């Protein structure tokens, strides 16, 4: 099985992960915006928000890095 065929079998998974990551980022933005006063005034909430934002930024990265690091295979995804 070639790399291109393998990548095509994972297309739906990558699409679902990207959609879930975008949804999570949007919900996180809304939650922090609605409760901004609490996040700013409480140090423990600020720390938790910072950690959550950092972790949220780490999850989409391996998915897209793995796809882009595939070498010379080209697909029409």
Range of the domain at 55: 28-67
Q: What is the pTM for the complete model shown? A: 0.56
> Per residue in 12-43, pLDDT tens?
988 898 888 888 888 888 988 899 999 889 99
Closest CA to 26 of 63, 56, 64, 65: 56
Q: Is residue 12 part of a domain?
A: no
Q: Is residue 18 part of a domain?
A: no
Q: Is residue 40 part of a domain?
A: yes
> How many CA atoms, within 13 angstroms, populate the side-chain half-sphere of residue 40?
5
Q: Which helix (H) or strand (E) holds 72?
A: none
Name the domain count of the chain: 1
């Amino acid at each position: 099985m070639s790399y291109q065929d393998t990548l095509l079998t994972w297309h739906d998974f990558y699409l679902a992960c990207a959609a879930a990551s975008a949804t999570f980022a949007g919900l996180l933005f809304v939650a922090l915006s609605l409760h901004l006063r609490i996040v700013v005034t409480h140090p423990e909430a600020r720390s938790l928000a910072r950690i959550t934002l950092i972790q949220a930024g780490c999850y989409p990265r391996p998915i897209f890095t793995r796809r882009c690091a595939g070498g010379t295979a080209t697909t029409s995804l």
